[in-house]
Structure 1
Amino acid sequence: MSTPFKFDQIDRKILDILQANAKITNAQLSKEIGLSPAPTLERVKKLEQAGVIKSYHAVLNPQEIGLGVSTFIQVTLLGHRKEYINSFVGRINEIPEVVECHHVTGQGDFLLKVVAADITSYQNLILDVISEIPEIDNLQSIVILSTFKDSKVMPIP
C-alpha cells in the first residue's frame, strides 16, 4: 500500500475546485486559489503525477443517451481460487454495459453496476452474456428505481 499524499490547504482547494469543475482554465483556477498560473499548473501536475488526480472526463446522463435501466448485480463465484477471480474479472472487463465491478465481502463475491437501454436489453445481457461466464455460481439483480445521490466528489481528509 502506498503512503497517502500529504495535502496542504492549497492542494485541498485545488482538488475541491477541480472536482466541482474539471473544465476550469488554469488562469481561473490560479485566481481562485490565490497563486499565479505557473505554480498552480505545477501543483496540478504534481497531483496528477502522484496519482491523486486519476483522470478528467464528462459525466453523461444515462437517460439522455438511451440507457434507461440501471442495476446492481450481486455475483457469487463457484469458488475463490485466484484463477476463477482473474478469469471472471477479465470477462467482465469486456462487457461495456458493466460500468463498475467491485470485489466485496458478504454473501456475494462481486457487485456489478450495469446499464442497459431497457428491461429487454438487460434481460438479454443477463441471459446471453453475463450468465454464460463459467465461473459464476449465482446472480442476484437489484433494479435501481431512483437515484437520490450520485456524487463523484471525494471528501478530502
Structure 2
Amino acid sequence: MGPDRVAIYVDADACPVKDEVYRVAARYGLHVFVVANSVLNVPREPWIERVIVGDRLDEADDWIAERVDRSAIVVTADVPLASRCVKAGATVLSPAGKPFSDASIGMALATRNLMQDLREAGMVTGGPKPFSAKDRSAFLGALDQAVRRVKRNLDSPKPAPPPR
C-alpha cells in the first residue's frame, strides 16, 4: 500500500473480530491484509488479501511490522507486535478496542512480561477473560474512530521541515 492509502493489517490467527474489520473496511473502502500462519477462510473480495506466512515463530508479526507506517491500522492482541507497529507510526488496536500508543505500550509490555513470568512460575493458571459482546462493540467504535483519525491525518498538509 502507498503511504497515503489507509490499510488495515489483522494479526489473524486468534483474532475474534475479523468480521467487524471487514464491515468497517467495506464502509470506508479500505484494503485489509489478513495475516496468519495457517490458511483461514476470508471473504472473496478484491480488497481483502489473505497472507499466509510460514510457521516460524513471529513470522506473521515480522510480515506486518515490516510493512506498516502512519497510514496503517493494526489489529492485534500481541503486545510485542503492537510495540513494533506503534514505533513505526501505525495506529494499533486490541480486539477489545483498546488502543496501544507510545504512552501505553511500555506498561502493556511490562504487564505482559510480569504475567508471563508468573505463569512460568506456576502462580497464574487462568487465561484472559472471555471475549464479550461489549468487547466487540468497543472494538467497532474504536476501529471506526481510528479510520477517521488516520484518514484525517493523511489528508492534512504535511508540516514544513524546520529551517536550517
TM range (shorter): under 0.3
TM-score for both structures, normalised by structure 2: 0.21
Q: Which has the higher contact order (CA 8 A, sep 6+)?
A: 1
Bigger Cα Rg: 1
